[in-house]
């Protein structure tokens, strides 16, 4: 984790990612988002109905593919053109208390099926938390399309442990805003 009192410039972001290229995951429960829950972590699974039809499906898929489910202006992904492929690394940025927090994450798995599309990333050493988060859409038999966020996490550093209630509140804020954003993005004309 690095911090910055202003949004970091391109050079700093490139340097940050380059230094994290060979970092390993900071948790052992790899692929844990594929299970019901992971013991010892906060487990969350939220979903929202986006709508029906190919247009909604394609717009939601495009939004996830370009990391648009991260609510701005207080969260961002660098580089948001990173393909959703296992092993690719991104920087998860969020602004809290006027400070930008830079956290490395690596895609654990991705899937692109007829009625299911998405990916999961896991935290790397240097992330403020440890755990995994999965974002996906799926389509049921009736044609309803849902957006899901499933995660398990816990604080990694003593500072994160101290502000744990605030961190949980921001995790809930992230989910709420991400769900609203995906609903809007997938239903634009």
- Over the stretch 21-48, which tens digit does the pLDDT of each residue have? 889 999 999 999 999 999 999 999 999 9
pLDDT tens digits, 138-155: 999 999 999 999 999 998
Per the CB < 8 A criterion, the answer to whether 147 and 159 are in contact is no
Does the model's pTM come out above 0.75?
yes
**Placement of tokens 């393909």 in the chain:** 83
Distance separating alpha carbons of residues 110 and 116, to the nearest angstrom: 10
pLDDT number for residue 163? 77
* pLDDT band, very low/low/confident/very high, at 165 (cuts 50, 70, 90): confident
Give the Å distances, CA to CA, from 10 to 68, 101, 103, 106: 19, 15, 15, 19
Count the alpha carbons within 13 Å of 131 in the hemisphere toward its beta carbon.
22
Distance separating alpha carbons of residues 99 and 6, to the nearest angstrom: 7
Q: Which of 168, 120, 114 is nearest to 148 (CA)?
A: 120
The tokens describing 138, both together, are 């799926």
Tell me which CATH code domain 2-186 carries.
Answer: 3.30.530.20
Q: Are strands 116-123 and 99-113 parallel, antiparallel or unpaired?
A: antiparallel
* Percent of the chain's residues with pLDDT above 90: 87
């Amino acid at each position: 984790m690095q911090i910055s009192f202003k949004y970091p410039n391109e050079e700093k972001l490139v340097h940050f990612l380059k230094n994290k290229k060979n970092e390993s995951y900071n948790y052992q429960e790899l692929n844990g988002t594929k299970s019901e829950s992971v013991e010892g972590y906060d487990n969350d699974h939220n979903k929202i109905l986006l709508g029906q039809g190919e247009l909604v499906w394609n717009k939601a898929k495009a939004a996830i593919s370009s990391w648009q489910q991260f609510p701005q202006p207080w969260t961002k992904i660098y580089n948001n053109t990173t393909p959703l492929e296992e092993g690719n690394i991104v920087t998860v940025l969020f602004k809290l208390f006027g400070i930008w927090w830079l956290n490395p994450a690596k895609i654990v798995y991705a899937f692109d099926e007829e009625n299911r599309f998405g990916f999961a990333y896991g935290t790397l050493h240097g992330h403020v938390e440890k755990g995994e988060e999965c974002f996906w859409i799926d389509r049921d038999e009736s044609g309803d399309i849902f957006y899901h966020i499933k995660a398990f996490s816990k604080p990694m550093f003593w500072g994160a442990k101290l502000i744990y209630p605030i961190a949980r509140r921001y995790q809930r804020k992230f989910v709420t805003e991400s769900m609203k954003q995906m609903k809007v993005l997938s239903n634009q004309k």
